[in-house]
Amino acid sequence: MLEMKRRFFLAGTAALMAAPSIGFAQAAAPVKGGTLRISVDQAASVIHPLLTRVNPEYLVTELLYSNLTRLRVDMSVEPDLAESWTANDALTEWTFKLRAGVTFHDGSAFTANDVVVTLKTILDPATASPGRNNIGPISDITAVDDTTVLIKLSGSFADLPAALAYPNARIIPAAIATGDLKSLSTKAVGTGPFKLVSYEPDRLIVVERNETYYDPARPYLDRVEVQVFPDISAEGSALIAGNIDIISTIQPTEFLRIDGTDGIDTLRTPSGQFCNINFGCDTAPFNDPRVRRAIALTVDREAMVGFVTEGFGTIGNDTPLNPSYQFFQQVKQREANIAEAKKLLAEAGFPNGLEATLIASDRPAVRTQLAVALREMAKEAGITINVQTMPHATYLEQVWKKGSFYVGFYNMQPTPDGIFKLLYTSDAAWNETRWNNKAFDALVNEARGTTDEAKRTELYTKAQEIMNEEVPSIIPSFFDVLAAKRSWVEGFEAHPRASVYRLDYASLSDKAPKRG
| % of the chain beyond a pLDDT of 90 | 91
CATH of region 271-480: 3.10.105.10
> What residues does each domain of the chain span?
2-31+42-182+492-504, 271-480
The reply to whether domains 2-31+42-182+492-504 and 271-480 share a CATH topology is no
Which pLDDT belongs to residue 9? 35
| pLDDT(98) > 60 | yes
Segment 208-232 mean pLDDT: 97
Task: Name the percent of the chain in helix, strand, coil, to the closest 5.
Answer: 35, 25, 45
User: Beta strand pairing status for 383-390 and 354-361?
Assistant: parallel
Query: Do the beta carbons of residue 147 and residue 109 sit within 8 Å?
Result: no
What number of residues does the chain have?
Answer: 516
Give the span between the Cα atoms of 118 and 134, in whole angstroms: 14
Instruction: Classify each residue of 81-94 as buried b or exposed e, where b means 16 or more C-beta atoms within 10 Å of its C-beta.
Output: bbbbbbbbeebbeb
Residue 10 has pLDDT above 90, yes or no: no
What pLDDT is recorded for position 22? 34
DSSP-assigned letter for residue 198: E
pLDDT at 12: 40
Q: What is the dihedral of CA 373, 474, 323, 52, to 10 degrees?
A: 100
Read off the pLDDT of residues 381-440 as tens digits, 9 standing for 90 and up: 999 999 999 999 999 999 999 999 999 999 999 999 999 999 999 999 899 999 999 999
What is the average pLDDT score of the chain? 93
28 — pLDDT class (breaks 50, 70, 90): low
d(CA 191, CA 213): 7
Residue 203's pLDDT is what?
Answer: 97
Average pLDDT over residues 323-344: 96
Q: For 329-333, what is the mean pLDDT?
A: 96
Of 97, 110, 126, which is closest to residue 175 (Cα–Cα)? 110
Query: Could you read off the pLDDT of 171-218 as tens digits, one per residue?
Result: 999 999 999 999 999 999 999 999 999 999 999 999 999 999 999 999
Element (H or E) spanning 4, and its range? helix 2-27
CATH architecture of 2-31+42-182+492-504: Alpha-Beta Complex (3.90)
What distance lies between CA 34 and its chain's CA centroid?
28
Decide if pLDDT at 15 tops 70.
no
pLDDT above 80 (res 296): yes
Q: Which residues does 284 contact at the CB level (< 8 Å), separation at least 6?
A: none
Span 461-511, pLDDT tens digits:
999 999 999 999 999 999 999 999 999 999 999 999 999 999 999 999 999
Q: What is the CB-side half-sphere exposure of residue 466 using CA atoms within 13 A?
A: 18
Mean per-residue pLDDT for 27-49? 91
Q: What is the C-alpha to C-alpha distance for residues 221 and 490, in angstroms, rounded to an integer? A: 11
What is the value of pTM for the model shown? Answer: 0.84
How much is the pLDDT for 363?
87
pLDDT in tens, 242-279: 999 999 999 888 999 999 999 999 999 999 999 999 99
Whether the predicted pLDDT of 3 surpasses 60: no
